[in-house]
Amino acid sequence: MKKSFVILNCLSASLIFSCMPMNNSPMSMPNKISTTDSSMKTDPKDLMVLKMGNFQNSVHKVSGGVKLIKNGEKHQVMLVDFNTEAGPDLHVYLVKNDIGDASKADSFLNLGKLALNSGNMNVDIPSGINLNDYKSISIWCKAFNVNFGFSKIN
């Protein structure tokens, strides 16, 4: 009887912990989206704003600013005072047109899964990318192939 009680408790604990949500910190994400200032250089002269814009709604409410920056030797998308409605499988896309339309396979670059629905975030851009080819940033729902919102970047 005592052995059955111990086994039942172990199984219950396993079930409870397996149903708990995973840690949503940037460290657990498989992409390079940072929600802290640890990826920012401390010396402002190392930061250079290359392009910027403001988000506008598409299918859902998205707001805040966006900047393409050079941060030391790397390029990043900086989301500032960013906010979007929740959705499944939201990603940050660099898009070649100025309306955030990433419906064609060769029209965008997926920078990674969105870590949070609001706040300030930095998204690394892979090296070797010609930023002049891209005209907008989109918050794209990959699961439903939908543009949540976008920002023209000039």
Task: State pTM to two decimals.
Answer: 0.73
Residue 110 lies in a domain: yes
What is the token pair recorded at 98? Answer: 């100025």
- 14: burial class by Cβ within 10 Å (0-12, 13-18, 19+)? exposed
3 is a domain residue: no
Q: Give the three-class secondary structure for 11.
A: helix
Please report whether residue 36 resides in a domain.
Answer: yes
Quick check: is 48 in a domain? Answer: yes
pLDDT value, residue 28: 27
- Residue 126 domain-assigned (yes or no): yes
Q: Based on the structure, what is the number of domains in the chain? A: 1
For residues 151 and 138, give the distance between their C-alpha atoms in angstroms, rounded to a whole number: 7
More confident call, 98 vs 20:
98
The reply to whether 20 falls in a domain is no
| CB distance 125 to 111 below 8 Å | yes
Handedness of CA 98, 94, 33, 43 (dihedral sign): negative
In the chain, the N- to C-terminal Cα span, in Å, equals: 72
Question: Quick check: 31 and 125 in contact, CB under 8 A?
Answer: no
pLDDT tens per residue across span 64-121: 999 999 999 999 999 999 999 999 999 999 999 999 999 998 999 999 999 999 999 9
CB half-sphere exposure, 81, CA atoms < 13 A: 6
Angle at 96 between CA 91 and CA 97, to 5 degrees: 100
Residue type, 112: G
Q: Is 9 part of any domain?
A: no
Residue-level length of the chain:
154
Q: What is the pLDDT of residue 14?
A: 37
> Are the CB atoms for 92 and 139 separated by under 8 Å?
yes
In a domain, 146, yes or no: yes
Q: What range defines the domain where residue 60 resides?
A: 28-152
143 has a pLDDT exceeding 80: yes
**Percent of the chain predicted with pLDDT > 90:** 66
Predicted pLDDT of residue 47: 87
Max intra-chain CA distance, the chain: 72
